[in-house]
Amino acid sequence: MIDRTSSDVVIIGGVAAGPKTGAALARRAPNMKIALFQREPYISYGSCGMPYFASGDVPTFGELTRTSYGVERNPDFFRNTKGFDVLTGIEVVSIDRSGKTVVVKDIATGKSQTHGYGTLVIATGACPKPPPFPVEESPLVRFFTRPDDAISFRKLAESGKIGSLVIVGGGYIGCELAEAATVWGFDTTIIEREPQLLPKGFDKEIAVYAAKELDAGGIKVRTGSEVKRIFLEDGRPVVELKDSSIGADFVFLCLGVRPESGLARDCGLEIGEQGGILVDERLRTSDTFIYAGGDCVEIRNLLTGERASFPLGSLANRHGRVIAENIAGNQARFRGASGAALVKICNINMGCVGLSETFAAEAGISYECVWGAFPDKPDYYPESREIVLKMIYDPLDGRLLGLQAAGAGDICRRIDVFSSMLQRDGRIDDLFDFEHGYAPPYSEAMDPLHHLASLARARSRGLKMLPPGADSSLYEELIGNKFIWLDIREGDKFEENRPGHYEPGNFIHIPLGELRAKIGGLDKNTSYVLMCGRGARSYQAWSILQAAGFTRVYVAGAGIAGVCL
C-alpha cells in the first residue's frame, strides 16, 4: 500500500482534478508528501476521449492512458516524473475531520487502514444519475462513464456482436456515442425525454441541427420520448417506451451525471442544492483543511452568480491548479464558469457558452436573441463553410449572456472569444471592439461576432427577428397573426431552394435589388417575414422597409441556411 501512515496532502480521486492538483503541487512544494488514492486501476486517463475509443477512431484504450510521448500514466510515472505517490485500487471509505485522517481500503485484499492528512483534497468526480425507470441488470445495458463501459462496448462491437444499439439520453455523451455508432454502422436509436437533443446548453432551434445530422447519418432520433423500463428478453435488452418497444443488442444509459459527494456529505461538509460540495473561490470546502475540485463540486455560474454543477474536464484541470497554488501558500482563485462546451456531431460542429434562452427565460433574466448564418471564411475562398449562430444578451444594458453555434465551419473561435468576454462581464460594445485575426483562408473581414453585435443594435432600433427554421406555425404564433413570406433572394437559386411551406398566395418574391422600386406594391398592414440566404440581406431589406414606414416586418433568422444547415 504505502510505507507511511500520513501525508502532508491526501488527494482522493485520480482522473482529472486529483492528478492535476498533485502534479502542480509537487512542482510548487517539492518537499510535501503527497498521496493520491484512486479506486479504479486506471488513472489520469482521457475520459472525454472514451467516445472516440468506442468509435474506433482511437485505436486502443492505451492511447487514453499514455502521455503524448508514449509513457503509461501509472503510479511509477507519477512517482518518478511528477513526484508524488499514487495508489490505485484503493478506496477511501471515510473521512475523520477532527482526527484529520481517512480510512482507506485496498479493494483487492479488503484490508483497511488509517492515513493521516495535513490537507485533504476531494476530487471524487461525478457518477451517473440513476435512471428514473426500472432497468433489468445486464452487461449489455451500461452507463458510459468508466473505462470498462467503453472497453466492453468496443470488444462487443469489434466481435460483431452488436447489430443494433439504443442510446437513452440525448445529451453530449449520448450524441457523441450516436456519432460513434454511425462509424460502426449499427442500427441505432437515440431516445431523449426532452423535446430536443442537447437540452443542456442549446435551445431547440439550434439543437435541431444535431438531430438532422444524426438523422442524415442513419440514426433514429426520438426526442420527447420517455422510457418506461428496460427489461431483458432472452437475455437481449428491450427498451420500452410509452407506445412502442425497441429491442437492441446493446443499450447505453446516458442520463447525465451528479456530483460524487457521498464522502464529503458523510463527514459533514456543506453540500449545495445540486448535490455538489460547496467551495469558496479558493476551492476550499466548509472545512479549512479540505479542498475540493472537479465534477464533485458546485461552482459559481458567472452569468447568474448562482452555484451550479459544471461537470467538464477542462474546469476540473483548472481546479487542480488553483487548489495546488492555494495549498502551496499562493493565492489563486477560481472565479466561476460560463459552461463553454463543444460537441462534434458527424460533419457538424456545435458549441455553446453562457446561458441558453430557455435557461434565461426560466430564470426570469431579461434577455433578447439574435441569429444569423455566416460563412466562416469568405465565400470565394475554396474551403469556406457555413455556421449558424445564436446570441443571447440583455437588451437593457447590452450584457452578453450566451452564444450557441452549429455548422460545418469553424465555431470554436467564436465560442472561445465569447467565453473570454463573458469571463469579464462583456457587453455588446466589446463585440464591436473585438479585433479578430483576418486573412481569407481563415476569416472574413468582419467577424460573425461583429454582425451579431450589429443585429443586436438594430433590434434596439426595432428590428424584429424570428428563430431559424422557417416554421410557419411557430412564426404565426410568435407574430400573433398570419403573414406573407417576402423572399428577397436574387441570383442564388430562389427557384430551386425554397421552404416547403411556400404556397401560392402566401409568398412574394422580390429580389432585394428591386425592393426599393417595388415597395409600392406592398401593404403596410400586412405582416411580412423576410427570407434570404443567411439573414444579412433580410436585415438590409428590413432597413429599407422600416424607412418606408413598414412596422410589421420580421426577419427569418439565419435565412435558408437556418433551414438547410
Task: Compute the least distance from the CB of residue 355 to a copy of itself, in Å.
Answer: 14
Nearer to a copy of itself, 346 or 474 (CB): 346
Strand partners, 165: 188, 250
Rounded Cα distance between 81 and 72, Å, is: 11
- Choose the binding region for a copy of itself from 130-138, 207-215, 286-294, 410-418 (rule: CB under 8 A): 410-418
Residue 481 interacts with a copy of itself (CB under 8 A)? no
Strand partners, 374: 387
Pick from 417, 457, 454, 452: nearest CA to 435: 417
Asked if 510 and 538 count as a contact pair (C-beta separation under 8 A), the reply is no
Task: Compute the least distance from the CB of residue 1 to a copy of itself, in Å.
Answer: 22
Task: Compute the least distance from the CB of residue 435 to a copy of itself, in Å.
Answer: 5
- Choose the binding region for a copy of itself from 79-87, 98-106, 180-188, 262-270 (rule: CB under 8 A): 79-87
Asked if 562 and 469 count as a contact pair (C-beta separation under 8 A), the reply is yes
Task: Compute the least distance from the CB of residue 481 to a copy of itself, in Å.
Answer: 27
- Choose the binding region for a copy of itself from 151-159, 211-219, 272-280, 416-424 (rule: CB under 8 A): 416-424
- Angle ∠(132,205,486) on CA atoms, nearest 5: 155
Angle between helices 536-547 and 448-460 (to 10 degrees): 20
Task: Compute the least distance from the CB of residue 215 to a copy of itself, in Å.
Answer: 20
Nearer to a copy of itself, 497 or 506 (CB): 497
Rounded Cα distance between 243 and 108, Å, is: 46
- Choose the binding region for a copy of itself from 6-14, 77-85, 88-96, 253-261 (rule: CB under 8 A): 77-85
Residue 424 backbone phi and psi in degrees, to 5: -120, 35
Asked if 157 and 53 count as a contact pair (C-beta separation under 8 A), the reply is no
- Choose the binding region for a copy of itself from 78-86, 190-198, 276-284, 521-529 (rule: CB under 8 A): 78-86
Taking CB under 8 A as the criterion, which residues in 441-460 touch a copy of itself?
A: 441-443, 445-447, 450, 454, 458
Taking CB under 8 A as the criterion, which residues in 14-73 touch a copy of itself?
A: 16, 26-27, 30-31, 46, 48-49, 52, 57-58, 63-64, 68-71
- Cα 353 to chain centroid distance, Å, stands at 8
Q: Report the SS3 class of residue 179.
A: helix
Near a copy of itself by CB under 8 A: residue from 410, 456, 528, 558: 410
Kind of pairing, strands 400-407 and 464-466? unpaired
Residue 531, all three cell numbers:
427570407
Residue 421 interacts with a copy of itself (CB under 8 A)? yes
Residue 332 interacts with a copy of itself (CB under 8 A)? yes
Task: Compute the least distance from the CB of residue 317 to a copy of itself, in Å.
Answer: 5
Rounded Cα distance between 172 and 341, Å, is: 9
